[in-house]
Amino acid sequence: MKKARLEAFSDGVLAIIITIMVLEIKVPHGTHFSDLKELIPIFLSYALSFLYIGIYWNNHHHMISTVRKVTGNILWANLHLLFWLSLVPFATGWVGENHFSAAPLALYGVILLMAGIAYVILQSLIIKNEGKDCVLKKAIGKDVKGKISPFLYLAAIALSWVNTVCAGLIYLIAALIWLIPDRRIERILHEETATSNE
């Protein structure tokens, strides 16, 4: 019951975040395809952020599905995560409108870093609540992706003032590594579900 509303509210907020970013792509005044040229960086930053929010939704979905009891601190840790993600549209707009210049790119990384930290806090609280033998603990395993991500963000933040293309590419790579399917994780989640249904 409680979990259903936690999911519904998170789904609502994530759906709105992913969609209002499109409002940053302002309709150009001209009527030629060439008038869209200036929108390319805005479109690219939109696509990147869409990917990030999509990944967060996907991981959030998997993580919450393993929760059996929702406590007060899980609710607040979840809101804390949503707070940082809600700033993604702002950072995306600043990056896009300024053609991926240094400070906006660095801010983008700071917000991704804070959201990443908020995600780890939520994950730790759930594991603490559910016990060390819980499905989530097994599913994340050594959590390689989770541990690499913050270093990639930090690298990109530092690189923003050196080479913006490099920084942008690192954000892209940091997103793409999450797309590689973790067959092992899906198997563990699948097995556990099968066991609990027996």
Binding site for a copy of itself (CB under 8 A): 1-2, 5, 7-9, 11-20, 22-25, 27-28, 31-33, 35-36, 47, 50, 54, 57-58, 61, 65, 71-73, 75-76, 79, 82-83, 86-87, 89-90, 93-94, 97-98, 101-104, 106-107, 179, 181, 186
Report the residue number, 82 or 188, with the smaller CB distance to a copy of itself: 82
Report the residue number, 2 or 147, with the smaller CB distance to a copy of itself: 2
Q: The dihedral of CA 53, 125, 138, 117: what is its sign?
A: positive
* DSSP one-letter string for 89-132: HHHHHHHHHTTS-HHHHHHHHHHHHHHHHHHHHHHHHHHHHH-T
Report the residue number, 48 or 170, with the smaller CB distance to a copy of itself: 48
Report the residue number, 35 or 143, with the smaller CB distance to a copy of itself: 35
Q: The dihedral of CA 18, 77, 6, 69: what is its sign?
A: positive
Closest contact distance (angstroms) between CB of 153 and a copy of itself is: 17
Residue located via tokens 């600043």: 94
Closest contact distance (angstroms) between CB of 31 and a copy of itself is: 4
Among candidates 73, 72, 144, 86, which has minimal Cα distance to 114? 86
Question: What are phi and psi for residue 14, nearest 5 degrees?
Answer: -65, -40
Closest contact distance (angstroms) between CB of 142 and a copy of itself is: 20
Closest contact distance (angstroms) between CB of 3 and a copy of itself is: 10
Closest contact distance (angstroms) between CB of 32 and a copy of itself is: 5
Residue located via tokens 């008038």: 35
